[in-house]
Each structure stands twice: as structure tokens, then as C-alpha cells.
Amino acid sequence: MAIASISAVALFATACGGSSDSDSTSGGTAGGEIISGGCNPENPLVAGNTAETCGGDVLDVLTAKLIHYNPETAEPENDIAESIETKDNQTFTVKIKKGYKFHDGTEVLAKNFVDAWNYTAFGPNGQQGGYFFEPVEGFKEVSDPKSKVKELTGLKVVDDLTFTIKTTTPVSNLPLRLGYTAFAPQPDSFFDDPEAFGKKPVAAGPYKFDSWEENSAIAVSKFDDYSGDFGGNADKITFQIFQDADAEYTALLAGEIDVVRQIPPSALIDNKFQTDLGDGRYLEKENSTFQFVGMNYNVDPKLKNVKVRQAISMAIDRPTIVKQIFNDAYTPATGWVSPVVDGYKAGACGEYCEFNPEKAKQLLGEGGGYDGKLTLSYNGDGGHKEWTQAVCNSVKKSIGIDCVATPSVDFKTILTKLGKDEVKGLFRMGWVMDYPSIENYLSPIYGATASSNYYGYDNAEFQKTMSEAGAAETPEEANKLYQQAEGLIAKEFTTIPLWYGKTIIGWSDKVTEVKATPFGSPDLAAMKVK
Amino acid sequence: MGKYIVRRLLQMIPVVILSTFLIYAMVFAMPGDPTAGKCGERPCPAAYIEKFNAKYHLDEPLPVQYGYYAKNVIQGDLGENQYGRPVAEELSERFTVTAKLAVMALIFEGVIGILAGVLAGLRKGGFIDNLVLISTLFVISVPIFVTGFAAQYFLGLKWEIFPALASGKDPSLFALILPAMVLGSTSLAYIARLMRSNISDNIKSDYVRTAKAKGLKKGRIVGVHTLRNSLIPVVTFMGYDFGALLGGAIVTEGIFGINGVGGYIFTGIRNRDGIAVVGAVTALVIVYLLMNLLVDLLYGALDPRISND
């Protein structure tokens, strides 16, 4: 009998991860104002209805969740949670800390989690983050857009500070997921008028909402009654809204803002940003973005032989493309899982992700060759034209397959066509993690009935390994099994890994202690004003 | 005159209705999905899309959609854009900034353009004439984004004479000087050249010779007699240019981070945010029509021989 308790992991993380957290609460040099580059939130600022970065960056400092991800290691650390315990990886007992307060002064109680999660999962509410509750028992009934069932059967309030989560199948990494914004608690006032709330959000994080001037700025300031361990340093954070990444970068150079979330492509050319900013004012870190190409060989039988698929992978000169097209803002991939997550194992792809035209030709011959035109479909709305063409050229040059990059209007169009089995050849895909776990790169994509399985991938052994991992007793054991599952993907090669994303953030000379979160944004709460 | 104005104003109504419908139809006929990209890299959950479509009537046929929209507009409600913000409110904010920018650009191009044109036109072939010809040729041939970035880099970032950006809700007039100069630069060149050829033509005309013969002072001959006549084509140009400045400042607004109308229309089109685009464009159509009317009225003031009645 094991307890897959998150606190064990957290202890481990704090012991090894350095003292960054103690700095943030004791900091003698705390104070001042940080002005961050920002963008227009796509939706009102409701935690369960924000899945994009513009609103997410703001909610990051406003909200507190059960779990906090360590900005260095992405390890989960207990935040509001006192403990999350389970005996079977299926029923989790969550105890929360006493005295945690919302910005309106009310206390954070177990029901604030349960109510918020039910609201987010309820289909007719149309919340973007609804799918996060998929593992919870009762999700199917609740999430239907016409549903009448308002409560997840898997959530139960035990007392003021305790609630339980029951999942449909064992999910050993459930606690790890709970640090995402969609899992934030909501105060009672939220339910009176969610719409108005979204314009003036109340949460339990280190910063409280001050003002939101549309198209201009969102301001937050330090919450005096914050009792958690992850408090902020600056007294005030302002998100200055820019519509244009270049303008945002210029504002940094002009000293009008203190930090930008991403250096624009124009400043990446010849590493211009390094001379612009100077040493110690920028940071490069791999983020969770993973680009790959996929195919469905039930739709395109010409790709049926695994050697053909491996040959195509070996014919792609990743390092050269990354350098020439992206100015090294990406890192060539060596597997199907991003290096930033817990459970990542380097080199899962082995030699098949290395550029080797000779071996590729040989494999292609053994696999029976590829007749005719091979298309690589991409969505025309996302700036994928250059690199898909470069990939095709590389394939053409190395192994002589006539490869053509073919645009579709947008992402949705490709997804619709994929759903109808209309896409032959290869198509591009990208993945950004929802929570830092190896599992998040496997089950949503390769599960037989998973929402993002566009590859017709259906492997009984994979399914079995994944559910074993879900039921594993310790995180280490689970990760080992997930790695085995990744190995099965490597054998089958239904998707070809390309590269991992990199976050390059820059800051002014007025701030220090800039770190990037595992999600690739600057950790604003940890930043200090000089 | 009053009758004329009323007639012109009444004529605007069908133009506005027709143009809004055309724009509405075109924005929604564009392929692509308004919810694409709203949920980050992955497609939005079905429940979200369903709610979104129902809210904006995207699941109904186009004429019905337009019907809903028109009904609201008649009641004075321009609707909500996809961020759930009232378009009217957002537009009024953005039009304030853009109008400030456009007026400043117009003053800049008008004053300097006309002055340069007059000086060049009076001494054709002289030093000033050559200077104006060469410098305007240069300004016209350099694309606006080059001018913009160069001005921002040297005057804003390097020498710190002007603020490099005019972002925020209500940028100061000082911060708008640099973008206004960039925005007005091309038109300034055209105005200078237009003015130059008009002046040099008119200065040779019979009525100027008559004025000279009457013994009028040179200042009066140029300042009143020649200038007034030469201004007619320039006023026409500036009238239309004001409309273009309001709607077409996408590049300049982008470079200087200005939250104006140009960028609003651009992102609106990109996100298939029909209601936002139609609202903004309707306002622009009205501005164009009013400017058109104003130009026609100015003709009469500049040259009494032109009558509107």
C-alpha cells in the first residue's frame, strides 16, 4: 500500500531546488513596481475559462492553486494543499491549509474548489478549461453542451478543509495536474455574476486585481493578507498591453517596460537581442512546445511500412532547418516528450531523429520506397510555411521523395479534414503541455479514443502500459512505465519528432531574479526590483 | 446651401447601409474559424465553441446574422466584439487616439508641405526648389515602415529626443509627434509637389499679372491671389487623406505601439471578428463621407465661382 503523496515530491524538490522560495518571502529588497509586456486577454479573467497566455499570464500572479510548479525544475510543490493523499490512485483526499484568504477577505474552503470545478466542467457554461476535468468521475454527463447535470459525482466536500476527488480510472499523476490555472478555487461572489467577476477577478494568489484599462494595461498589487509560501516581491505589477511583439520589444529597449515574454523574430536574427540587451539581461530556456509531423497510414497506405516513416525522419536535417529558419529559437528533438517535464528521458528517438541521408536511402529501399507525391499539410494561419517547405526540401534532397508543403486555411480546417480521414501524407502538429508530466505528451495524443489522436493510433500494448502507469504506486514507477509507452511510439513511428520550443525572455536593468516558469513565461512574482 | 447639405446627408444613409452589409458579408465569408487560437495551441472544447457560436449567432445564415446586427445598430447598439467588449466604447477610445494622430499628421503635412511647395514654386530651379524636389523624392520612394523604424531608432531610442513609443490608452501629444511626422511624411511630399506645380503655374496666369500691374504688394499677390487658387487641389487631397490616415495607419500604429483604429481593424479581420470590423469600418465610411462634404463646401469658400447649389 503506497501513498502517492505529493508532499514527498515537494520535499524532495525543495531540498534540491535551491532556496529560491525562501528568498521570495524573506526578501529585504522587495518592493517597487514591475511593468511587464502583456497582450489582450481573449476572455474575461476567469480561471476556468482562460487557456491562452494573454489572460493566463495575469491569472498566474492572481491565483493560487493547490499546487505550485517550481520555476526551475517544474516540480510540483504544495501551495494551498496541505496534503493530497491516495491509496489507489483513484480516490484522492485533499486537505487544504487553514487561513488561506481570497482577496475579498473570505477564507478559502474546500467547497470553493468543488464549486469552481463543477462550474468549469458544466457543458452549458462553455468554459475553455472544461476538458481538464475529464478524468473526474461524472465528467461525461456534466460536460455535454446540453447537460442538465451540474455536479461531478467524483467531487465530495468532506469538511471545511477537506474534499475528495474520485477519477474514473487510476490517475497517478492527478496531483501534478492540479497546479494549472483551471484548478484555481473561486470565491462565493464568483457565482453571483461570473460575467462581471471576469472584469474584476478575485482570487487567492500573491497579487490582487487593481484595474483593467482595456487595450492599455492591467494592474495588480501585492495582497497583504496572502499567507502562502509563494509571495511576490514587487509591490505592483502592471501588464502593459501591446498588439505587436516588435513594439513590445522596442518598449523594453526604451526602458518603458521591464520584461518581455518573448523576443520577437526580428531581434533573433543574428542574435541581435544579445547585443541590444547585453549580458545578464536575457535568458534562453527550453519550453514545453513540441513540434512534430504526423500521418495516418490507414488513410495513406503508402506510409504503412515503418521503415518508410523512419527513412523520412532521417532525411530531415533538423539542426540546419532550426538554424536557418528559426535562428536557433528551437532545439532539434530527440524524442516525443519535452525535456522540461517530469519523466523526460533523452534520446528516445535514437538514431532515427539524426540526419543521415545514406541510412535513410537504405531504409527507404528496404521499406519498398514511396511512389508519387508526398504532401506535408500545414495551417496557413500560423507561420508554418517556411519550415514545412524546408522539411520537404530536405526530404526531397536526401531520399528523392517528391515532397510538397500544402497549406490549409487554418488549424480548424485541417482538424476537420483529419476527422473525416481526408488528409493523405504528412501533416504538422504542435503540442504545449497542460501540466508538467510525461503523461501529458502521450495519453491525449496516442490514446485510442483520445481527443487529439489524429493518427488512428490504436495499440493495445500502449493502452495497457498507460493504464498500468496510471495505477503505479510511486511517481518513479509511473514515469518508468510512461517511458516504456514512449518506446512503443518510437517503435511504431506514427509521428516524427521535429523540435522543442525555446523561450527567450529579456528584461530591463531595473530588475533582477528573472526566471522562466516551466510554461515559458517570466516568473513575475519572483522578480525583484533593484 | 442648407438644402444642399441636407440632401448630401440624406444620400449618405443608403451608402452606409450598403457598405456595412458588404463588409459584414465579406468578413464572414472569409474562410476560417473565429474560435481558432482562442484556446492556445489546441482546439477549443465543443461546449465552448457551441456557446460562442450561439452568442454571436454564428450558427445562423448570414442574412439572419446581419439582421440581428442591424436591429441592434438601429437601437444605437454597435454590439459586442469577440472579447465581449462593447464595440462603441472601444471604438470611441481608439478613435480619440487615432484622430489625434491623424489631425497632427494633417497639420504637419499641411503646414510644412504647403510652405515648402510655395517656396519651391516661387523660385523654380533655385536652391530651395531642388532641395524640395530631392527630399520629397526620397520620402516618397522609401516605404513607410523603413521611415518609421529609422525615426524610432534614431530619434526615439538612440538620441532620445522623442518617446520611442506612444502606447497606452491615452498617449501624450508629445509622444504622438514622432508617429504623426512619420505618418504624414509621404503625404507631405505629395502636397509639396502639388503645391509647387500649382503655384508655379498660377504665378504666370493673367490675374496675377493684373494684380502686379495694379501695383499690389508681392506678399498680397502670392498670399491671397495665387495661394487661394492653388489650394483647391491641395484641399481635395488633404480631405481624402484624412480619411486614409484614420483607417490606414496600420503600419505606423504597429511600429509605435499605438492602440488605434488601424490595428483594431487589422486584428478584427484576422480574428474574423465581424462585429468589430463592421463597426470600425462604418465609422470610417461616415468620416469619409463627411470629409467629402467638407471638401466640397471648402471649394466654394476658396473659389466663389464654384457653386454647390
B interface with A, Cβ–Cβ < 8 A, is: 31-33, 35-52, 82-85, 90, 93-94, 152, 156-157, 163-165, 167-170, 254-257, 259, 263, 267
Among B25, B57, B87, identify where a domain stops: B87
Structure confidence at residue A211 as a pLDDT band (50, 70, 90): very high
Could B47 and A127 be called an inter-chain contact, meaning their C-beta atoms sit closer than 8 Å? yes
Structure confidence at residue A68 as a pLDDT band (50, 70, 90): very high
CATH number for the domain that contains residue B141: 1.10.3720.10
- If asked whether residues B60 and B131 sit together in one domain, one would say no
- If asked whether residues B32 and B142 sit together in one domain, one would say no
- Mutation for testing the B interface, residue in A57, A132, A244 having most B CBs under 10 Å: A244
Among B71, B87, B103, identify where a domain stops: B87
Our CA-based measurement puts residue B31 at a distance from the nearest CA of chain A, in whole angstroms, of 7
Question: Within the 115-134 window of chain A, which residues sit less than 8 Å (CB to CB) from chain B?
Answer: 123-128, 130-131
- Mutation for testing the A interface, residue in B92, B167, B250 having most A CBs under 10 Å: B167
Structural domain total, chain B:
2
Q: What is the pLDDT of residue B66?
A: 84
Distance from the Cα of residue B187 to its chain's centroid: 11
Distance CA A186, CA B29 (A): 40
- If asked whether residues B247 and B128 sit together in one domain, one would say yes
Average model confidence (pLDDT) for chain A?
Answer: 89
Residues whose CB falls within 8 Å of the CB of residue A14, separated by 6 or more in sequence, listed in order? A21, A77
Task: Establish whether this prediction's ipTM goes over 0.90.
Answer: no
pTM: 0.83
Q: What is the pLDDT of residue B308?
A: 63
Q: What is the pLDDT of residue B132?
A: 94
In a domain, B307, yes or no: no
- If asked whether residues B76 and B114 sit together in one domain, one would say no
Residues of the domain holding B80: 1-87
Our CA-based measurement puts residue A401 at a distance from the nearest CA of chain B, in whole angstroms, of 30
Average model confidence (pLDDT) for chain B?
Answer: 86
- If asked whether residues B194 and B275 sit together in one domain, one would say yes
In a domain, B284, yes or no: yes
**All cell numbers assigned to A58:** 495575469
Q: What is the pLDDT of residue B49?
A: 85
In a domain, B202, yes or no: yes
Average pLDDT over residues B227-255: 86
Q: Which residue has the higher pLDDT, A485 or B69?
A: A485
* pLDDT exceeds cutoff 50 at A3: no
Distance from the Cα of residue A112 to its chain's centroid: 25
CB proximity A241 to B under 8 Å? yes
Q: What is the pLDDT of residue B284?
A: 86
Our CA-based measurement puts residue A112 at a distance from the nearest CA of chain B, in whole angstroms, of 23
Report the range of poorest mean pLDDT among A113-122, B131-140, B190-199, B281-290: B281-290
In a domain, B184, yes or no: yes
- If asked whether residues B92 and B146 sit together in one domain, one would say yes
In the chain, the amino acid numbered B135 is S
Distance CA A414, CA B222 (A): 66
Distance CA A317, CA A337 (A): 20
Distance CA B309, CA B305 (A): 12
- If asked whether residues B79 and B223 sit together in one domain, one would say no
In a domain, B23, yes or no: yes
In a domain, B309, yes or no: no
- If asked whether residues B65 and B130 sit together in one domain, one would say no
Would you list the DSSP string of A314-362?
HT--HHHHHHHHHTT-EEE-SSSS-TTSBT--TTTTGGGGS--HHHHHH
- If asked whether residues B102 and B80 sit together in one domain, one would say no
Our CA-based measurement puts residue B64 at a distance from the nearest CA of chain A, in whole angstroms, of 23
- If asked whether residues B56 and B138 sit together in one domain, one would say no
Chain position carrying cell 529560491: A20
- Mutation for testing the B interface, residue in A57, A119, A243, A276 having most B CBs under 10 Å: A243
Strands (E) in A52-123, as ranges, are 67-69, 76-78, 81-86, 91-96
Task: Please say whether the beta carbons of A520 and A285 come within 8 A.
Answer: yes
- If asked whether residues B104 and B81 sit together in one domain, one would say no
Q: What is the pLDDT of residue B40?
A: 65
* pLDDT exceeds cutoff 50 at A377: yes
- Mutation for testing the A interface, residue in B30, B35, B38, B41 having most A CBs under 10 Å: B41
Q: What is the pLDDT of residue A29?
A: 63
Q: What is the pLDDT of residue A83?
A: 95
* pLDDT exceeds cutoff 90 at A337: yes
Structure confidence at residue B124 as a pLDDT band (50, 70, 90): confident
Could B48 and A250 be called an inter-chain contact, meaning their C-beta atoms sit closer than 8 Å? no
Among B61, B87, B113, identify where a domain stops: B87
- If asked whether residues B147 and B21 sit together in one domain, one would say no
In the chain, the amino acid numbered A437 is S
Structure confidence at residue B37 as a pLDDT band (50, 70, 90): low
Distance CA B187, CA B195 (A): 12
- CA–CA distances in Å: residue B229 to residues B112, B120, B132: 18, 17, 21
**Residue A240 with chain B: CB contacts under 8 Å:** 167-168
Distance CA A226, CA A229 (A): 9
**Residue B145 with chain A: CB contacts under 8 Å:** none
The bridge status of strand A33-38 relative to strand A236-241 is: parallel
Indicate the length of chain A as a whole number: 530
Could B165 and A251 be called an inter-chain contact, meaning their C-beta atoms sit closer than 8 Å? yes
